[in-house]
Amino acid sequence: MLRNNWTIEEIRAIYDTPLLDLIHRAGTLHREYNTIGEVQVCTLLSIKTGGCPEDCAYCPQAARYNTGVGVQALMKKEEVLEYAAKAKAAGSTRFCMGAAWREVRDNKDFDRVLDMVKGVNEMGMEVCCTLGMLNEDQAKRLSDAGLYAYNHNLDTSSEYYSEIISTRTYDDRLKTLDNVRRAGVTVCCGGIIGLGETHEDRIKMLHTLSTLPQHPESVPINALVRVKGTPLENNPKVDVWDMIRMIATARILMPATMVRLSAGRADFSQAEQALCFMAGANSIFTGEKLLTTPNPSFEEDNLMFELLGLKPRVAFKDETAVKGELTAEQG
Ligand code: SAM
Ligand code: DTB
Ligand code: SF4
């Protein structure tokens, strides 16, 4: 049974479970709700890079930090569709287009993005966008163009948020997520660990995610990619066990959701990634690059799929389990 009435105490108790027990519990629930060994393969493309006015302390694309990421105007539709075709040929079923925007504006660039969404959808891939804040009308227009998912991360707890970003609020984020839901687009929303947050902040973020009126259909768990020039460049590297603990807790709280082992994967060995899959991760980003930083190559990932006996999830597989009724009682 899916629940959205988790308490902080319940979540803390799960998060604090000894690791092997936690992995076992998450893995058992994962088997109940999902096809074991099936992993969703998503590919990212940065369609508009750099020069972002926001001050997200982790981000290489914020204009105010000198990270060496150049500014690139919005790509042409044809070029984007070429990338999508390449990703599809390599086995990817979801294509996610990212723009370094604070928010969507109603202009020619947005019209072009709508065209890209239409084009990728017509290729038979699930289309996702991450374009910053959206109003209800913009979400509706994306939905009409064939958008399947919208990525908009909460990143951390509401309490820690202002330490990381000052140019928008947590409530702004929640409002966009609500607009996405109202437009009937599936929600992709997760966070980053390694920002300098406490365990309590992670627990609180998981609480916010798992008590939304409806669980996000996908929850990306990112390990901070430490980029030179950003305020967080000298943060300690994320410990893989912390990643596993986050993934397992997310799996237990939101058993039918796609939990994505996201940024930072290039730094984890195959054995470490295998533990993430055992703890309930069932989605990854593939392709040489995330948005601006390195990711394992298609070839490396194909080898890992073969080695671990993983199978790519087909596009548009019924996700109604997540849409099932939430109940006030514990399942
Ligand atoms: N500008 C839009 C926004 O912020 O919503 C969309 C693109 S933004 C790059 C998408 C997400 O990438 C962020 O919300 C953040 O969670 C993640 N991200 C950015 N830089 C990262 C980094 N260095 N390490 C891990 N995740 C990162
Ligand atoms: C998400 O949660 N992680 C992806 C995607 N959603 C957009 C982005 C990771 C970005 C890592 C830094 C970079 O490559 O620029
Ligand atoms: Fe801009 Fe998004 Fe990067 Fe923040 S995370 S600086 S909004 S591109």
pLDDT tens-digit readout, 292-322? 999 999 999 999 999 999 999 999 885 444 4
Instruction: Write down the residue that tokens 């990634």 correspond to.
Output: 273
CB neighbour list of residue 103: distance below 8 Å, 6 or more residues apart:
131, 132, 133, 134
**pLDDT of 32 over the 90 cut:** yes
Q: Are 188 and 148 in contact (CB under 8 A)?
A: no
Q: Is the pTM of this model over 0.85?
A: yes
Instruction: Give the Cα separation of 28 and 42 in Å (integer).
Output: 25
Q: Are 217 and 260 in contact (CB under 8 A)?
A: no
Amino acid identity, position 39 = V
Secondary element (H or E) of residue 304? helix 298-308
CB neighbour list of residue 250: distance below 8 Å, 6 or more residues apart:
190, 206, 209, 210, 219, 221, 257, 259, 280
Instruction: Give the Cα separation of 185 and 192 in Å (integer).
Output: 23
Q: Which of 260, 265, 276, 313 is catalytic?
A: 260
Query: How far, in Å, from the CA of 56 to the mean position of ligand 2?
Result: 13
For ligand 2, whether the C-beta of 295 sits within 6 Å is no
Q: Return the ligand 3 atom nearest residue 98 CA.
A: 8
For ligand 1, whether the C-beta of 132 sits within 6 Å is yes
Phi-psi sector, 26: left (phi>0), alpha (psi -120 to 50), beta: alpha
The token duo for 269 is 């060995």
With vertex at residue 185, the alpha carbon angle to CA 179 and CA 190, rounded to the nearest 5 degrees, is 80
**pLDDT of 104 over the 80 cut:** yes
- Mean pLDDT of the region 21-44: 97
Task: Using pLDDT thresholds of 50, 70 and 90, give the confidence band for residue 243.
Answer: very high
3-state class (DSSP) for residue 45: strand
Query: How far, in Å, from the CA of 102 to the mean position of ligand 2?
Result: 15
pLDDT at residue number 130:
98
52 as an active site residue: the answer is yes
Looking at the CA of 216, name the nearest ligand.
2
pLDDT at residue number 317:
84
pLDDT at residue number 318:
53
Secondary element (H or E) of residue 14? helix 8-15
Of 192, 209, 243, the residue with max ligand 1 atoms within 8 A of its CB, to mutate for a pocket test, comes to 192
CB neighbour list of residue 190: distance below 8 Å, 6 or more residues apart:
153, 154, 209, 216, 218, 219, 220, 221, 222, 250, 260, 262
Q: Which of 25, 129, 181, 188 is catalytic?
A: 188
pLDDT at residue number 331:
33
Query: How far, in Å, from the CA of 205 to the mean position of ligand 1?
Result: 16
3-state class (DSSP) for residue 205: helix
59 as an active site residue: the answer is yes
Query: How far, in Å, from the CA of 300 to the mean position of ligand 2?
Result: 19
Q: Return the ligand 1 atom nearest residue 133 CA.
A: 5
**pLDDT of 328 over the 50 cut:** no
Task: Using pLDDT thresholds of 50, 70 and 90, give the confidence band for residue 5.
Answer: very high
Query: How far, in Å, from the CA of 104 to the mean position of ligand 2?
Result: 18
Q: What domains does the chain contain, in order, with CATH numbers? A: 8-325 (3.20.20.70)
If you average pLDDT over every residue of the chain, what do you get? Answer: 95
Percent of the chain with pLDDT over 90: 94
Looking at the CA of 45, name the nearest ligand.
2
Looking at the CA of 177, name the nearest ligand.
1
The token duo for 146 is 């064939």
pLDDT tens-digit readout, 57-77? 999 999 999 999 999 999 999
Q: Which of 3, 25, 42, 56 is catalytic?
A: 56
42 as an active site residue: the answer is no
Q: Which of 33-42, 43-52, 287-296, 315-324 has the lowest mean pLDDT?
A: 315-324
**pLDDT of 257 over the 80 cut:** yes
Q: Return the ligand 2 atom nearest residue 285 CA.
A: 4
